[in-house]
Structure 1
Amino acid sequence: MLLGENLISTGANEFNAAFTKDMDEFYFSIRHRSDFFIILKCDIKNGEFQKPEIASFSGKYLDADPFISKDGSYLYFCSNRPTAENDTTYDWNIWRLERVKNKWHNITLLSFNTADKNEMYPSVAESGNIYFHSDLESEGKNLSFSGTNIYKSIYKNGNYEGYEKILPASTEEFPEWDPLISPNEDYLIFTSPRPGGLGSGDMYICFKQQNNQWSEPINLGEKINSPGMDYCPSLSPDGKILFFSSYLNSLNFNLFPDSYDDLIYKLNRPQNGNGDIYFIDSNIINSLRCKE
């Protein structure tokens, strides 16, 4: 189902879905090509989304991919903001904010970030271990999704200890991005353009096996994946709802607009070919576990 039609999901390019612990604030992102990425905040009152506004920590640099820890204490996001006063690299790094008196404060650059590569899409388990995608093995300085892999950094004694590439060796031939780790790290959802999918990028799931290795990826199927790109998975705080973003639909100009107003409506409505945010019952994960 489409989330927040004409308020959250509009004719713009929306993605990400992150709720505070009490479900009273919602964060998502909007992008325009590669020109800007902005994180928006939307208050929730009596179960209804209010008008979105630019998040207090966003709007000056390129920002995206908000993730809120299960206990509500931290908000993680990625940004190309400078890491130091003389930093002119403008690569993407993962940052963390702390919840203090119902506001986000104390921005921190996480220690595993590299100086000249891109770390994006943080997803954090209850253990504090963080999963993200990066183009660490790609050549050149520009962000390249054709060379991204998924990495894990272990949280120990209040700090992150390096990083390691995860997933079976059989997946290394294809790029992967947008990881969602389950709270107890027993499954991982991600997007990949590997052959055999339904569109230009499908979402897949791997389950943690008894030997502590990941299973081979399983396609999430037609209830989620589409002929377009399906990406940015996340969970509601109670784990009952799976959110994702999708270029599910494109404009159908077989039915030409019959007026200027009709044209503008079709260009600005949700499901016009830009990204929108969707949600589905997370029980789909358990049904796929049986196919492992």
Structure 2
Amino acid sequence: MRDSMISFTVLAFIVFLSACKTDKSNTIDDGSSTVQSPYLGQKPPGLIPEPFAPDLVTTVGWEYSGVFSPDMNEFYFLRQVEGTEEQEFVAYKNAGNKWKETVMSSRQGQPFISPDGKTMHLGRRYKEREKNGDWSEIKKLAAPFDSLPIMRLTASSKGTYYFDEFKPDFTGDIRYSRFIDGKYEEPKLLGEKINTGKSFHPFIAPDESYLLFDSPKEGGYGDSDIYISFRQHNGSWSNPINLGDKINTKAWEASASVTPDGKYLFFNRNTGSDNYENIDIFWVSTELIEKLKPQRVK
């Protein structure tokens, strides 16, 4: 009996060592324990949105605009510095199979990384990826963007810009600009389907097959809802489709984007007071987008 117990213990230990040796998942060291990754060690959500990375990213404070790099080894977001009115630009980077937090700077704009990973857009400013993998000093977009009140700018794989214009009277429009013959064309306003009312925070799919944005349109669920519009066969955009009551609530939802691997939708929700003191980052499976595709207008 004793010999059998010893054999079982040895076998269990061998299995444990084998599992540790073959597990190649990334990890994040929180100072007290190490948890499995990817996605900063988080268990992926299904069709019900969940706060992203509680205590690491999402807290009882203000966090906003979370995006991954195309290789999924970097995560960037904005947060309020605890006990102050200041906001800072934060990165989690995968180094040596561990995710490490870095405060990059004070807030510099809403981050979005181009599909090729070479540019970090920050509204009408940007950074470029250098040969050593670091980001350059912040630069300003040239004409025809330098004088526009851009809040969020995203880009497709073709380099086409989609961006909003945040005006002092809290109205907003979404425009686009294609890269043609070595330069960007004069920005063009998207049609009334998109720009009826106030439309903000566009996210263009890398292949330009759909556009996400938020707006307090009539018939919505509350303060501001997230919508999707699909590119049609003739190049036009479909009527915007509200993402539904699993995403949108009576609160403010905004700034949606999709992870570079196409699996998850990230967005922001006001979970606090009318003063927007507790903005959280949520994520949910992009299956919900797939479920909406049959509604496309032919």
**TM class by shorter-chain length?**
0.7 to 0.9
What secondary structure sits across from 1:290 in the alignment? helix
Q: Unaligned regions of 5+ residues in structure 2, if any?
A: 1-49
Q: Does residue 12 in structure 1 map to residue 61 in structure 2?
A: yes
Aligned to 1:113: 145
What secondary structure sits across from 1:105 in the alignment? coil
Asked if the contact 2:177–2:184 (Cα under 8 Å) also holds between the matched residues in 1, the reply is yes
What secondary structure sits across from 1:103 in the alignment? coil
What secondary structure sits across from 1:162 in the alignment? coil
Aligned to 2:218: 195
Aligned to 1:77: 122
More displaced stretch, 35-44 vs 193-202: 35-44
Identity %: 29
1:226 Cα deviation (Å)?
A: 1.5
CA distance in 1, matches of 2:90, 2:260: 18
Change in 2 beyond 3 A, CA 1:47/1:187:
farther
CA distance in 2, matches of 1:215, 1:68: 26
CA distance in 1, matches of 2:243, 2:113: 24
Supply the AA of the counterpart residue of 1:68.
I
Aligned to 1:256: none
Q: Does residue 150 in structure 1 map to residue 182 in structure 2?
A: no
1:245 Cα deviation (Å)?
A: 1.0
What secondary structure sits across from 2:71 in the alignment? coil
CA distance in 2, matches of 1:218, 1:157: 34
Q: Which has the larger Rg?
A: 2
Q: Does residue 217 in structure 1 map to residue 240 in structure 2?
A: yes
Aligned to 2:4: none
TM superposition score normalised by structure 1: 0.75
Aligned to 1:97: 128
TM superposition score normalised by structure 2: 0.74
Q: Unaligned regions of 5+ residues in structure 1, if any?
A: 79-92, 252-271
Aligned to 2:31: none
Count of aligned residue pairs for this structure pair: 242
Q: 2:283 aligns with which of 279, 283, 288?
A: 279
Q: 1:207 aligns with which of 212, 224, 230?
A: 230
1:273 Cα deviation (Å)?
A: 6.0
CA distance in 1, matches of 2:115, 2:193: 31
Report the structure, 1 or 2, having the larger helix content.
2
Asked if the contact 2:176–2:187 (Cα under 8 Å) also holds between the matched residues in 1, the reply is yes
1:49 Cα deviation (Å)?
A: 4.6
Aligned to 2:188: 164
What secondary structure sits across from 2:187 in the alignment? strand
Change in 2 beyond 3 A, CA 1:121/1:231:
same
Q: 2:249 aligns with which of 220, 226, 234?
A: 226
Aligned to 1:88: none
Aligned to 1:90: none
Aligned to 2:88: 38
What secondary structure sits across from 2:292 in the alignment? helix
1:288 Cα deviation (Å)?
A: 0.8
Tell me the alpha carbon deviations over residues 137-177 of structure 1, each in whole angstroms, 9 at most, x when there is no partner.
Answer: x5xxxx34x311111111234432221111x3244440100
Q: 1:24 aligns with which of 44, 51, 73?
A: 73
For the aligned residue pairs, the C-alpha RMSD in angstroms reads: 2.4
What secondary structure sits across from 2:290 in the alignment? helix
Tell me the alpha carbon deviations over residues 46-74 of structure 1, each in whole angstroms, 9 at most, x when there is no partner.
Answer: 87653x3322xx32xx4221111122111
